[in-house]
Structure 1
Amino acid sequence: MNSTVGYARVSTREQNSEAQEAELRAAGAQRVFVDRGESSRVKDRPQWVACLDYLRPGDTLLVRRLDRIAGSERMAIETINELHDRGVNIKSLTEPDIDTTTPMGRALFGIVAVFAQLRVDTIRQNTMRGLEHARAQGRVGGRPTVMSPERISAAVQMRAQGQTLMQIASVLGVGKSTVARALAKHADGAPEGAPSR
């Protein structure tokens, strides 16, 4: 016999999940899994993993909103596609177009998924084009370095005197890895902030 299984999530342990649970049970969920204090961007939430393990082909996963199971549009699409491949339906109580239990719902979700994936791909392509343009202009992405020429010079002198990376970092007020990168680039003859080859 196919089951309707609910999944609820609250972001902090102080939040009350009872309202979500009640809604899911009222909508027909025979069993409800609840994660408390877990981020939707984390895939291996304890009760979410248990819920996925519990679901069988023909079952329906019931959620209040898609953001309960996924922290991004792409993650939601991947999750729904994975459920579809397992023969598990999904239904959202507050998003009518997310209901793969009906032919129309499956068709609508397919259209939504295509446009969402297109948006993700477009954002990625625009980002890559922007980075390529920045590199062509001699700019490199990432945070600006904290290692000024004066700090690099001081680090080189301290290193020559036998001080450890940790000691140098402590004196300069930066991280050990920052000192190591700066010294490596200095040894290669590349200015700090230039891309490593």
Structure 2
Amino acid sequence: MSIIIGCSRVSTREQDPAAQEAELLNAGAHRVFVDHGESSKMRDRPQWKACLDYLREGDTLVVRRLDRIAASEKMAIEIINDLQEGKINIKSLTEPDIDTTTPMGRALLGIVAVFAQLRVDTIRENTRRGLEHARAHGRVGGRPTVMTPERVEQAEKMRADGKTIAEIAKVLGVGASSVCRALASDKLNQD
């Protein structure tokens, strides 16, 4: 027997989830899982995990809005796809197009998923093209190194005097990994 399960979330401990719970119960939810003071960016929220464990094939997950379970469009699509693979429907109370219990809702969701993937692919392609253009013009992305030529020279002298990487990093006020990279890079350039 399929049932309706509600899932709710409030971002801070000070917020009261009672209004969301009431809406979900009025929508027919048999049980409501509430994450209190949890970010939707976190996939392993305690009550969200409990909700997923509780849901069975044929059940319907009802939410007030998709942002109660997912922080981004991409995450929402992934969650909806996971639910659909488990033959679990999803319905949003404030987003009427999100209702996989109807043929139109499933079709619209498929279209939304295609456009979300297109958006991700376009961003990836534009980023790749931008990085290639920057490299072609002698620019390399990333954070500038903290190891100036003077610091590299000082690090080499300290290393020759038998100082450890940790000691050098402390004296220079940089991370040990920065010292290692600089010394390795300088050694490669000398060879």
TM-score of the aligned structures, taking structure 2 as reference length: 0.93
Shift of 1:37: 2.7
Percent of residue pairs identical? 72
Distance 2:79 2:8 in 1: 15
* 1:45-60 matched pairs, under 5 angstroms: 45-60=45-60
Shift of 1:115: 1.1
Distance 1:166 1:97 in 2: 58
Shift of 1:16: 2.1
Distance 2:55 2:177 in 1: 45
Aligned equivalent of 2:38? 38
Aligned equivalent of 1:168? 168
Q: How many residues align?
A: 190
Aligned equivalent of 1:95? 95
Shift of 1:169: 1.3
Aligned equivalent of 1:136? 136
Distance 2:125 2:59 in 1: 37
Aligned equivalent of 2:83? 83
Shift of 1:152: 1.1
Q: Deviations over 1:55-106 (max 9, x none)?
A: 1111011111111111221111111011111110001111111111111111
Aligned equivalent of 1:115? 115
Q: Deviations over 1:121-173 (max 9, x none)?
A: 11111111111212222221111111111111111111111111111111111
Amino acid at match of 1:136: A
Aligned equivalent of 1:156? 156
Distance 2:62 2:140 in 1: 46
Aligned equivalent of 1:195? none
Shift of 1:24: 1.2
Aligned equivalent of 2:187? 187
Q: More deviation in 112-121 or 35-44?
A: 35-44
Distance 2:178 2:66 in 1: 40
The structure-2 alpha-carbon separation of the partners of 1:77 and 1:176, relative to structure 1 and needing over 3 Å to count, comes to same
Aligned equivalent of 1:72? 72
Amino acid at match of 1:179: V
Amino acid at match of 1:35: D
User: Runs of 4+ in structure 1 displaced over 3 angstroms?
Assistant: none
Distance 1:189 1:3 in 2: 67
Q: Deviations over 1:6-35 (max 9, x none)?
A: 111122223222222122112111111112
SS of residue matched to 1:157: helix
SS of residue matched to 1:189: helix
- Structure 2 residues without counterparts, runs of 5 or longer: none
Amino acid at match of 1:127: T
Amino acid at match of 1:104: M
Shift of 1:118: 0.8
